[in-house]
Structure 1
Amino acid sequence: MFGKLRAWGREHPAVVDLLTIAPLVFVALALVPEYVADPVGESTRFGVPGVLALSGVLLTPLLWRRRFPRETFAVVAGISFLQWLVGIEPLPANLAVLVGMYGVAARCRLEWAVGAAAVVEFGTFLALRSWNDLSLEVFINASVFMLAVWFAGIYANMRRRYVQGLEERAERAERERDQQALIATAAERARIARELHDVVAHNVSVIVVQADGAGFAIDSDPEQARRAVQAISATGRQALTEMRRLVGVLRDDAASAEDYQPQPGLAQLEELVRQVRESGLPVEMTIDGDLSGLPEGEQLVIYRIVQEALTNSLKHGGPGARAEVQVESGGREIVVRVVDDGRGAAARVSEGGHGLIGMRERVTMYGGTMDAAPRIGGGFLVVARLPAVVREGAA
C-alpha cells in the first residue's frame, strides 16, 4: 500500500505539495480574524484583506519548495524580514519559513542547510525581540523547535540519498549484468565462428582434394576413385554433424544434449591424421608424455591447432609435401609442433589469416603462446606452447 502511495506521489508531485501545505494554509487563514482583532503590531493598518494577502504571499512559494528549495526559502525569508521591518507582527503564515528551511535541509548540500538554519535562528531572535518577549526560556524553546524541524530535513536528505544510492547500485548491477550477457554472447559467437571455420576449412579441403583425386583416377583406377568418393561421403557427413551441433547452440529450441556429439580431443588425433593421410598428405605423429589429465577444453585447443595446421599444409603444401606432428608434455608445459616441407608458405599467411588468428585466440585463452611462420629453406612451422592445466580429480 505504501509503495503504491509513493509511486502515486512521484507521478503527481504538484498534488502532493499542495496537500502537504494544506493544513498550514487552513490554520493560517482561519486565525487571520483573531490576529486582526487583537494586534500586536501594525495588522490593523491592512485589515483582514491585507493580512490574507500577506499570508497568501508567504504560503504560495511553498508549492515550488521541492523543485526550487533555495529560491523558495529565500523568497519566504525575505518577505518575513520585510514584514519585520514594517512592524507587522508574526502571523501563522510565517511558519512557511520553517517549511522552506526544511526543504533546503532535505534537498540541498549541508552548507546550504546550515545557512538556512542560521537565517531562521536570527529571524527568531528578531521576532521575539519585537514582541518584547526575549526571555531565555522562550528563545530556547523556539530554537529547539526550529532545530527539530532542521534535523528532520537532514534525516530526510540522508534517507533520500541512501535510497538513490541503492537505486543507482541496482541500475549499475543491472547494466553490468546486461553487459556480461553481451560479452558472454559475443564470446560464444566468436567460439562458434572459430569452430565453424575449423570444421569447414578442414573438411572442405579434404573433400576438394579427394574429389580431384577421384577425377584423375576415375578412368585409370576405378577402385581408387571409388575409395575417394567414399572418403568424400564420410567427410561430408562428419562436417554436417559438427556444423549441426554448432548451429544448434544458436537455436532457441535446441535439441537435447544427447543429440550432440562430444567435442574432439586428443583421442581423435589419430583419426584426424589418418583422414589427412588418405587425402594425400603423408603425416607422421608422435605424442610424448602423459596427457590424460588435461581438461576437455585444452584438448580441443590442441586438436584444433593440429587440424588447422594440417589443413593449411594440405591446401598449400603442393605435391610431394610431407608433414610431421609432435605433441610433447614437459610437466608444466605442452608443446604442439606441426611442420611441413611444402611450398606456398606466403599464401598461408595471407589467405589463411583467419585460421591463424583463431589458433592464436585459442592458445591465448589458456595463457599460452603460438608462433607460425615460413621455414628457412621451404615449408611452414607452427609451434604452440600451452600451460599444462591438470583436470581436477586427475591422478
Structure 2
Amino acid sequence: MEKTYDLIIIGGGPAGLAAAIYAGRSQRDTLVVEKGGYGGRVKDTGEIRNYPGTISDSGQGLMEKFHLHAQSYPTVEFCRSTVTGIRKEKGLFTVDTKRRGSFTARSVILALGTKPRELGIPGEKEFVGHGVAYCATCDAEFFKGKNIYVLGAGDQAVEEADYLTGFASKVTIIVLHEKGHLDCNEVSAQRAYKNPKIEFVWSTTVQEIKGSDHVEALVLKNVETGEVSEVPADGLFFFVGMVPQTDLVKELAECDKAGYLKVNEKMETSLPGLYAAGDCTQTFLRQVVTSAADGAVAATASERYVKERGQLDEILSPGSPKTAFIFYNPYRNEDISCVGELEKKLGGEWKFYRQDISRQDLLYRELQVKATVSVAFYQDGKLLEVKAAEQC
C-alpha cells in the first residue's frame, strides 16, 4: 500500500529545512522534495553575519547545519527530484515528480523560493554561461583579471560588485538612477565608493549584449539624454531583483500580482492544508531568519490542520448521527451567550460541537462561512445546510 505522509515539503532552502526540523521534532512522517542542492540561494552567500547565534559563517556552512539537523530525525525523508504537479482530491494531496513518481500527503508546505529576474535584453539568454551571470559566488572565478559590469543598485548588486573586485580587474556598476542615488544600505554604498576597482555609470540602462562565443561588448543608453554608446566588456552580472518560483501552483492557491503566494499569520494559503513559507510568499523581509521562522510556523500549523482534519473526518464518517457545528468567536461576549442558547435548543435532537474559530477554523474556512454565530448541520456525514444564528 502506498505510503501517505503527514507532510510533504517542496523546497530544501532555509524555510523548507526549518519546517522539516519542526516536523521531525513532532515525529511526523515527512518528505522533503528538492530539485537541486539543499540550502537554496543562501548557499551562494559568501558570508552571513546576521543569523542569531552565528557570528560569522558562509551560506553553504549554515545550510549544511540546517540539513544535518533535519536529517537527524528518523521520520524525515529526502527526495531529489523536480515537482511537476500538485493536486488535492478527497482531502489528500498528490505531488507528482519528474523522475521519482507521485507521493501522497495530508498537508503540503511550499518553500519554492525565488529566481533571478530576467529582463529580456537582446543577447541576455544567448550569453548565459558565456559572460552573462546572475550569481557572483558561483561564477566570479571565471572572470579573473577581466573587465566586467554589474546591472543594479540594490544591496545585492552593490555587495556582489564589491565581492567581484576580488577577481576582476575592474567592475563597473550600471545604475538607472541619477548620480549618487543607490538603493542599497549606506554601509555598502560607502564601501563601494571607496573601492578603487569599482566605477559607476549613472542614469543608464543596458540596451543590448554583443559578442561571438562570449560577451564582448555592451550597448548602453543614457535614460536622461537618450545617448547610446557601445563599451567593451568581458561579462555582465544581473542583480535586478528576484521573482517567485510559483508558476506550478498559481492555479491552486491565490497569488499577488507579482506572483508571490498570499498567506495568513499561520502561513496558510487560500487552499486548506496547503502552506507556503519563505521567499515565495508575500512578505516584508526575505532573510534566512524570517524564512526559518516561516517554516516553523507552517510546520506547526500544518500539524494542527492534519489533526483537525482527522477529527472532522471521524465525526462525519458515514452513518454518523445528526451533527451540528456551532462556529463562534470566543472574544465576543454575545457569541458566547448565543452558543449557550443554541446548545439548549439543539441538545435533544442534534449532537453538537463548538468550533472556536480562533483555534478550529478548518471547517469554517472550507464552508466559507462569513459570520458568527453560525451553525452547519450534517446528517449521515453529509452537509444539510449552514444557517446564521438568528435563523436557527
Which structure's residues are more often helix, by fraction?
A: 1
| TM score, norm. by length of structure 2 | 0.20
Which structure has the higher relative contact order (CA within 8 Å, separation 6+)? 2
| TM score, norm. by length of structure 1 | 0.19
Which structure's residues are more often strand, by fraction?
A: 2
